[in-house]
Amino acid sequence: MDFCLAQCRVAAVSPQLRRSDYMWKRVCGRDIEPVKFLCQNPCMIRFIFALPFAFLTACAPAPDSYAPQESPVPQASAYRSDFTWPRSYEYMPEGATLIFSATADWRHDSGIAGASAFWAREADENGSGLFTTEHPGVFTAENLSKFDVIIMNSASGNVLNADQQTAIQNFVENGGGIIAHHAMGDSSLASYWPWWKAQLGTEFVSHPADPQFQTADVVTLAPNHPVMEGIGASFSQTDEWYTFTGPVSGDVIVLSGLDESTYSPVNKVYGVEDLRMGPNPSDHPIIWAKCPGNGKMVYSALGHKTDAFDNESHQTLLGNAMRWVRSDDSDGCP
């Protein structure tokens, strides 16, 4: 019958179809008289045409429903526990490196890719196992027993729940190593993770813009530290340079600082304009080390883009960092 009514609407604008019993019998069957009555009566035709619009009007949402809805509070997108190891896990050597790069805030795709490629080469050269993931469910005591080092590869935002945070903390304090890149210092994860906030020991302010990427001198501040072996007095690097609120708190060894005279620590595009921390490289920490419990940690603010990992001095520093955080002795701890 619905199809017949649709044909009614066609017939309403076609007198030839309205007069054709053949058309009605073809689409509506033998009992055509009721339908013909509907469709040949001008009043009923107008009613049939108006009926769909009446339904649309009746079903339309009330004006109040168009009011903008309040956005939900961002949740930890990675509060998942459904982690499953791939089949290759059973063949991964003990003492492997875990690379974690989940993001719920700014994502540095280029830098994350550059760091992952660097650490993959490092693992190949040293014959160590390597596992990369964005799944936070990997962070349990049982899962982490396979690893010696965690690389926090510019992870950002609220990506870890309390149990996962605790698993990482226990892993490090019980003798594991952790190396953190770039965005791990932008405070977006530290604001949800008190332990990491304490390890970071300072807060992110901003970085230069226009130009965003500049070449600056990274000055060695702890020349005798194992991480700085072979680096020399300084090296030149092109990157996005973070400014922090002040000196790094806690038991820390600041490994490198920025020479602000070699770049323009200014952001005239948004936020804080004057990003200077002080006239001396020691005023502007950029790479530092701590020894939480029995473990070791290195944070480097370098690494916004892939090419940051092409610098030979930076590569040497990171290779040194890996060897240091894997070591069992306390050499280099504050």
Residue 70 is assigned to a structural domain of this protein: no
My answer on whether 37 and 170 are in the same domain is no
- On average, the pLDDT of the chain sits at 82
Residue 81 is assigned to a structural domain of this protein: no
Helical segments of 60-203, H only: 109-126, 141-144, 162-173, 194-200
Q: What is the pLDDT of residue 94?
A: 85
Residue 74, exposed/middle/buried by CB under 10 A (0-12, 13-18, 19+)? exposed
Distance, in Å, from the CA atom of 251 to the CA atom of 169, rounded to the nearest integer, reads: 16
More confident residue, 73 or 144: 144
* Residue among 232, 207, 220 at smallest CA distance from 304: 207
What are the distances in angstroms from CA 276 to CA 130, 179, 221, 283, 310?
Answer: 38, 26, 18, 9, 27
My answer on whether 173 and 49 are in the same domain is no
Strand 177-181 to strand 296-300: parallel, antiparallel, or no bridges (unpaired)? Answer: parallel
Query: Does the pLDDT value for residue 19 go beyond 90?
Result: no
Max mean pLDDT among 17-26, 106-115, 195-204 falls in 195-204
My answer on whether 32 and 127 are in the same domain is no
My answer on whether 35 and 111 are in the same domain is no
My answer on whether 96 and 7 are in the same domain is no
Residue 223 is assigned to a structural domain of this protein: yes
Q: What is the pLDDT of residue 86?
A: 77
> Average pLDDT in the 318-326 region?
98
Query: Does the pLDDT value for residue 143 go beyond 60?
Result: yes
Q: What is the pLDDT of residue 79?
A: 55
Q: What is the pLDDT of residue 153?
A: 96
pLDDT, tens only, 184-243: 999 899 999 999 999 999 999 999 999 999 999 999 999 999 999 999 999 999 999 999
Which helix or strand (DSSP H or E) is residue 254 part of? strand 253-259
My answer on whether 28 and 167 are in the same domain is no
My answer on whether 18 and 91 are in the same domain is no
Query: Does the pLDDT value for residue 117 go beyond 70?
Result: yes
My answer on whether 42 and 175 are in the same domain is no
Contact predicate 207/172, CB 8 Å: no
Buried-state track 281-292, b at ≥16 Cβ within 10 A, e below 16: beebbbbbbbbb
- Please give the tally of structural domains in the chain: 2
* DSSP string covering 280-315: SGGGSEEEEEE--TT-EEEEE---SSGGGG--HHHH
Distance, in Å, from the CA atom of 41 to the CA atom of 153, rounded to the nearest integer, reads: 75
State the greatest distance between any 2 C-alpha atoms of the chain, in Å, as a whole number.
103
3-state secondary structure 114-143: HHHHHHHHHHHHHCCCEEEECCHHHCCHHH
- The two three-digit tokens of residue 189, written as one number: 């994860």
My answer on whether 95 and 181 are in the same domain is yes
Residue 137 is assigned to a structural domain of this protein: yes
My answer on whether 21 and 109 are in the same domain is no
Residue 38 is assigned to a structural domain of this protein: yes
Q: Which residues contact 101 (CB under 8 A, 6 or more apart)?
A: 112, 116, 132, 133, 134, 153, 154, 155
Residue 306 is assigned to a structural domain of this protein: yes
My answer on whether 24 and 173 are in the same domain is no
The one-letter amino acid code at 105 reads: D
Residue 71 is assigned to a structural domain of this protein: no
What does the radius of gyration of the chain's CA atoms come to, in whole angstroms? Answer: 32
Q: What is the pLDDT of residue 80?
A: 59
pLDDT, tens only, 242-294: 999 999 999 999 999 999 999 999 999 999 999 999 999 999 999 999 999 99
Lowest mean pLDDT among 78-87, 146-155, 308-317: 78-87
CATH number, position 176 = 3.40.50.880
Q: What is the span of the domain harbouring residue 31?
A: 2-62
pLDDT-derived band at 81 (thresholds 50, 70, 90) equals low
Distance, in Å, from the CA atom of 308 to the CA atom of 304, rounded to the nearest integer, reads: 7
Q: What is the pLDDT of residue 38?
A: 46
Residue 208 is assigned to a structural domain of this protein: yes
Distance, in Å, from the CA atom of 140 to the CA atom of 142, rounded to the nearest integer, reads: 5
What are the distances in angstroms from CA 187 to CA 208, 244, 306?
Answer: 17, 10, 22
My answer on whether 36 and 146 are in the same domain is no
